[in-house]
Amino acid sequence: MRLTCDAVVIGAGMVGAACALYASRAGLDVIVVDRGPVAGGTTGAGEGNLLVSDKEPGPELELALLSGRLWAGLAGELGDRIEYEPKGGLVVAAGPEGLAALERFAAGQRAAGVLAEDVAADRLRDLEPYLAPGLAGGVRYPQDAQVMPALAAAHLLRAGGARLSTGRTVTEVLRDAGGAVRGVRTDRGDIHAPAVVNAAGTWGGEVAARAGVRLPVLPRRGFVLVTEPLPRRVRHKVYAADYVADVASDSAALQTSPVVEGTAAGPVLIGASRERVGFDRSFSLPAVRALAAGATRLFPFLSGVRAMRGYVGFRPYLPDHLPAIGPDPRAPGLFHACGHEGAGIGLATGTGRLIAQVLSGRTPELDLTPFRPERFGEEAL
């Protein structure tokens, strides 16, 4: 039997799920394929951050604001099933210099439409009673929110009604004599479609190569620590101001800046380490030690709280720290939706909406030029 559809989405992670949802709702017949299970890659290894607070004014922030609005709408529909929590973010600075920089950063964000409230040092503990004393101040971001990423991916896939085929590996993106995409070849047969969406996350470079185009997605490793379940003591997503600098950094060396948040289920999650070591899954005591040290500096009570487990994931990053979203002129019919680094959960909804718009021939509501997949060089592999 010939398997056909309007669009094949490669990747059953958060971004693929959002692409499938919005494309289906735009009236397209979609098949999602993944070599693993739902949320088997970076989606299953993340914290589920929906953040505007860590983004400077520019195209990524615009995408984050669009995505935030879409998440709020989906939360109304999917309720508690995806554990959506509009808890807000709180960024704190240890000293006056850091605080001045943070407040300048926030002022720029406000001009771009972000809600950001300066919080004086003596008001920090009203927001977070267990925060360490002596911090210089902070900024509260009420638009920051969180979902449970694996649940979000699974429920968005289900809500969209797209056909899902897991455990199926794409071996080649099929192209006709004129170069146009006509489907995918998999280890379990071909799927014919005039459009293929590369939502393979950290493995998006490999999928691009199977279509004969270059997309330099590379892994940036991160560890997350999970504590024993606690009564709610950390209310916001709380992080130190130097996190923003780490996110934007190009260094390959280990960087850690504490990011601490409570969850609906009880455990406190502690991120975020960043290092470029390829796909090395092995346990790294220096990385988790730095996470624990940073978290206990922010919240001294955590010293006596036990870490139950830790997990490792690989953020898909592109050299300019912006995702690749939109049609690939080098392979007509191929669309990319990957390379979101550590922001893929948050940016998934906006990405899915924009992909659905271009798939159905409409003008996308954001300018896709900064996200052009061919911006890293035109040469074929």
Using CB under 8 A, list all residues that contact other proteins.
12, 36-40, 44, 150-151, 154-155, 157-158, 164, 166-167, 225-229, 265, 267, 270, 281-283, 285-286, 288-289, 292-293, 295-296, 302-311
Q: What angle do CA 329, 335, 339 make, to 5 degrees?
A: 110
User: Whole-angstrom Cα distance, residue 215 to residue 181?
Assistant: 17
User: Whole-angstrom Cα distance, residue 312 to residue 281?
Assistant: 7
User: Whole-angstrom Cα distance, residue 270 to residue 274?
Assistant: 13
Smallest distance from the beta carbon of 262 to other proteins, in angstroms?
14
User: Whole-angstrom Cα distance, residue 268 to residue 234?
Assistant: 8
Smallest distance from the beta carbon of 283 to other proteins, in angstroms?
5
Using the minimum distance from each CB to other proteins, give the nearer residue, 14 or 322. Answer: 14
Smallest distance from the beta carbon of 363 to other proteins, in angstroms?
33
Using the minimum distance from each CB to other proteins, give the nearer residue, 44 or 86. Answer: 44
Using the minimum distance from each CB to other proteins, give the nearer residue, 50 or 157. Answer: 157
Written in H, E and C, the secondary structure of 322-348 is CCEEEECCCCCCEEEEECCHHHHHHHH
Using the minimum distance from each CB to other proteins, give the nearer residue, 227 or 349. Answer: 227
Smallest distance from the beta carbon of 85 to other proteins, in angstroms?
16
Q: Which residues fall within 8 angstroms of residue 76, CB to CB, at 6 or more apart?
A: none
Q: What angle do CA 277, 280, 285 make, to 5 degrees?
A: 85
Using the minimum distance from each CB to other proteins, give the nearer residue, 45 or 356. Answer: 45
DSSP helix/strand/coil, 27: coil
Using the minimum distance from each CB to other proteins, give the nearer residue, 56 or 280. Answer: 280
Smallest distance from the beta carbon of 32 to other proteins, in angstroms?
9
User: Whole-angstrom Cα distance, residue 65 to residue 350?
Assistant: 8
Smallest distance from the beta carbon of 128 to other proteins, in angstroms?
17
